[in-house]
Structure 1
Amino acid sequence: MGENVKLVKPTVELREEYLDFYDEWKASGEDMVPWVIKKDPAKFDDMIQSLHDAEIGESLPAGWVPDSTYWLMTDHNRLAGVVNIRHSLTEKLLNIGGHIGYGIRPSERRKGYATKLLSLSLQKTKELGIKKTLVVCDKWNEASKRTILNNGGKPDLDFIEEDGNVILRYWIDTEDKK
């Protein structure tokens, strides 16, 4: 990785960098993870406002919990990844979503950003008062599994979705994090 990274709140000032990130992901044809990056950025100011509203629990769909979104920025002001942190868990999130969903843009993978992004995200969950953080990934996703284990993930029971996909579930003791 070789450079410092930090989590920043989404802002309209980073519009061009976010659109570059978004367009790269769309062009890859991959599923966009975490779910918040699927939001259409055409009305960018509105998208940013919706992210801020979600953090304070405003205008949430029924059954949703407040969540915080952060962008992982490099020293060179490049948006390398996005994380979405749920402040609490519903039954569905307990099975397949967890507290933290994150993704690294395709061109920045295999550089150590995911491990750093999860580590910084765990500090945010600690700030939210979450003592044990649930992080999940699909069984086939070896890179995510390694990232979670590298951040102290302890395996829990797997969850099998209706289509047979296996979700690996890991708990991380947030109190141990600096």
Structure 2
Amino acid sequence: MPELVRPTTGVHDSFLAAMKEFLDEGRGGPDDESQIGRDLRDPGIEALADPDAFAAYVARVNAEPLPDSPRPAGFVPSTTFWLVDGKEYLGRIQLRHRLTEFLREAGGHIGYDVRRSARRRGHASLMLREMLPYARGLGIDPALVTCDEDNVGSRKVIEACGGVLEDVRHGKRRYWVPTG
């Protein structure tokens, strides 16, 4: 049964397979500013194949909620959960603890990705529903969740979780989702 867990080395092989699926669908290019895109470029799927490098990556992701953790300029503390079923990595969801001007325009508080082979099974809805109370616990209500204007699946997930469309900016639909 799928469950949200903090990132773990226990799904190493499946995580690599998922990253390959994202790469095969064109993710990770220089214009891909998503967390998946950044991870595919740096450290990169080849580097993450090394168990020690993967363990260091998992430790870094798990440290991101801490206010003093190193992060790139403009990035805010964030909490990431992975959706797993046993040792099978299905996807990830990330909660950004506050909004920057960029996140207010395009990224929002919450971003999620489901690997291609696990899509259309309700995993994104499960992740978003389970992340909303966590956001509320951090004082976020409502949460801003965005998706590409042409991403019908993500739009349906956000709307099913109570998202109210505020507007569309630069090709991004911007929804406010109640967390309580």
Q: Which runs of 4+ in 1 moved over 3 A?
A: 30-34
Aligned residues: 166
1:28 alignment partner in structure 2: 25
For structure 2, the 5+ residue unaligned runs are none
1:26 Cα deviation from its structure 2 partner: 2.0
> After superposition, where does 1:60-139 map in structure 2 within 5 Å?
60-74=71-85, 76-139=86-149
Query: Per-residue CA shift, 1:52-109, capped at 9, x if unaligned?
Result: 22111310122211011110112x4321111111010011100100001101100111
State the SS of the aligned residue for 1:137: strand
* Alpha-carbon distance between aligned partners in 1 of 2:115 and 2:34, rounded to the nearest angstrom: 11
Which shows bigger deviation, 34-43 or 107-116? 34-43
Contact 1:17–1:78 under 8 Å retained in 2: yes
* Alpha-carbon distance between aligned partners in 2 of 1:123 and 1:38, rounded to the nearest angstrom: 27
1:168 alignment partner in structure 2: 173
Contact 1:33–1:102 under 8 Å retained in 2: no
Q: Could you tell me the TM-score, scaled by structure 1's length? A: 0.85
For structure 1, the 5+ residue unaligned runs are 161-165
Identity percentage of aligned residues? 33
Which shows bigger deviation, 85-94 or 61-70? 61-70
Q: Could you tell me the TM-score, scaled by structure 2's length? A: 0.84
State the SS of the aligned residue for 2:120: coil
Question: Which amino acid in 2 is paired with 1:109?
Answer: R
Contact 1:34–1:84 under 8 Å retained in 2: no
1:5 Cα deviation from its structure 2 partner: 2.1
1:155 Cα deviation from its structure 2 partner: 0.9
Selected match of 1:8 from 5, 12, 20? 5
1:123 Cα deviation from its structure 2 partner: 2.3
